[in-house]
Amino acid sequence: MDNATAERNPDSLGNSSRTPNRWLILANVSVGTFMSTLDGSIANVALPTISEQLNTPIHVVQWVLTSYLLTICATLPIMGKLADLWGRSRIYNYGFLLFALGSALCGLSHTFPMLVASRVVQAIGASCLMSNSQAIVAEVFSQGGRGRAMGITGTMVSLGSLTGPGIGGILVGWLGWPSIFWINVPIGIIGFIAGLYLLPRPSGLPKRERFDYAGSVLFIAGMFSLLYTLSNAQDWGWASPATWGAFAASIAVLAVFYVWEQRVSNPMLDLGLYRIRAFAIGNAAALLSFMALFFSNVMMPFYMENVLGYSTEQTGYTMMIYPLTMAVVAPLSGWLSDRIGPNLLTTAGLAVNALGFGLLNALSAHEPSWVVGLHLSLFGLGGGLFQSPNNSSVMGAVPRPKLGTAGGLNALVRNVGMVLGISLSVSIYSSRLRHLGVDAGASAGGPAALSALHLVFWTAMGVCLLGLAISARRIRHA
């Protein structure tokens, strides 16, 4: 490797097939991926307890979740860009340390403002991890096994996102709400120390390129305001002047950001990546896939508890079938994509998810948990078929020096899809209940809740079919 190559790519590894510790590197990255995605959902079940102990209204305590997700979405591309300039391993490892620090501050919080501020610190650390995990894996496994490795990291994303409520419920019940944050501290410290020895070390000086501070500020302001508006539109009213005004303001800021990025010599966000067909199609399909899957992630507990009358514990165990199925399918799908390519697998995965949502509409108000679990296993199968090959296709399509930026954008799409899925599914469900004359704020059950859930699931099926149509373009142009 010549010096020019080293300078262009601070974490360049040469022939990654000869990297002696690439599976240990994957293990380290998997831990960081699991931990950062876990904390996006682990606090859900702790909100009532936090609300009571910190004397905070329940509609305000939601900021424990919102602040984390919004901060991640607003900083992911920035951390990816910094990684391309300063080295992916550096930024990733600092993320471990920052995440552990933020977690400790969360555990020490005795006031609500301190808890929210600590969650922001934690989210910045998570952003460092999320934006670089796929880039590191894509580079280390560039000479073979990328699909299989992406399958494992994809499994960690799903396990982290979907097992959070179950793990959180156990910890809160036994040790109190601070324990859901303290558990991250030793893991983060161990991950940081291991990363110092395992992760590829920069082989050149950081790029001598000016960082786009103005573009970063514009992106943070525009993305934060857009997602904040989406998260609150249900409470404000989708047709209210406040909602439309906030949407208009956020779109205007993002438009200014776009114009700025086209003119600046060293843009924060390389929008030229979207001219790469596989990257653009993969990101669009991933956005719709995560959006649809979070329709089910949010709404299925309502169905099981309010309609079927399951206990919280029974609901948790039934919901676990989804990530466990995906944990089995995703590595196999990634391994298979290394041999037959990602195109057919990604499209088949979205087809299975669409079928799953269609079948959910056949469920009645009296179903045993094993039947519900079988339906949820379809989403584990579809998600596993889609995510690993899609991530491999997206990350394999970009130039190696742009892997950090691409990883940040890929993670951003995933998190924006989650936010969209949460906000839109809750909005559709609540609007349908109000249309039927039922108090949307109550624990609605019976035919009204089932009717509202069916509308949500039909909508999610439509989203999956749209994603399938986009993903199928890969097959036609293969």
Return averaged pLDDT per consecutive 10 residues of the chain, 478 residues in all: 40 43 84 81 74 75 79 83 81 91 93 92 90 80 74 74 71 83 89 85 61 82 84 79 91 90 78 84 90 82 81 75 83 84 88 94 88 91 87 79 74 80 81 74 68 91 93 73
SS3 for 11? coil
Specify whether the CB–CB gap between 284 and 242 falls below 8 A: no
Q: Looking at residue 16, what is its pLDDT?
A: 39
Ramachandran angles phi, psi of 379, nearest 5°: -70, -35
> Smallest Cα–Cα separation from 297: which of 192, 148, 200, 159?
159
Residues contacting residue 98 through CB under 8 Å, at least 6 positions apart: 121, 122, 124, 125, 128
> Smallest Cα–Cα separation from 361: which of 348, 351, 375?
375
Whole-angstrom distance between the N-terminal and C-terminal Cα of the chain? Answer: 32
Number of Cβ within 10 Å of residue 368's Cβ equals 10
Q: Looking at residue 360, what is its pLDDT?
A: 92
Q: In order of start, what are the domains of the chain with their CATH numbers?
A: 1-211 (1.20.1250.20), 269-478 (1.20.1250.20)
DSSP 144: S
Tokens representing residue 348 in the block: 């088949």
Q: Looking at residue 71, what is its pLDDT?
A: 87
Q: Looking at residue 9, what is its pLDDT?
A: 46
Q: Looking at residue 445, what is its pLDDT?
A: 63
Q: Using N-to-C axis directions, what is the helix angle for 369-396 and 446-476, rounded to 10°?
A: 30
Please state, in angstroms and as integers, the Cα–Cα distance from residue 473 to each residue in 91, 108, 429, following that order: 35, 50, 32
Q: Looking at residue 451, what is its pLDDT?
A: 87
Specify whether the CB–CB gap between 11 and 142 falls below 8 A: no
CA distance 48 to 173: 12
Ramachandran angles phi, psi of 320, nearest 5°: -65, -20
CA distance 467 to 289: 7
CA distance 77 to 405: 6
Tracing tokens 């305590």 back to the chain, one arrives at 61
Residues contacting residue 282 through CB under 8 Å, at least 6 positions apart: 346, 390, 391, 393, 394, 397, 410
Specify whether the CB–CB gap between 385 and 328 falls below 8 A: no
Where b means 16+ CB within 10 Å and e means fewer, 35-60 reads bbbbbbbbbbbbbeebbeebebeeee
SS3 for 264? coil
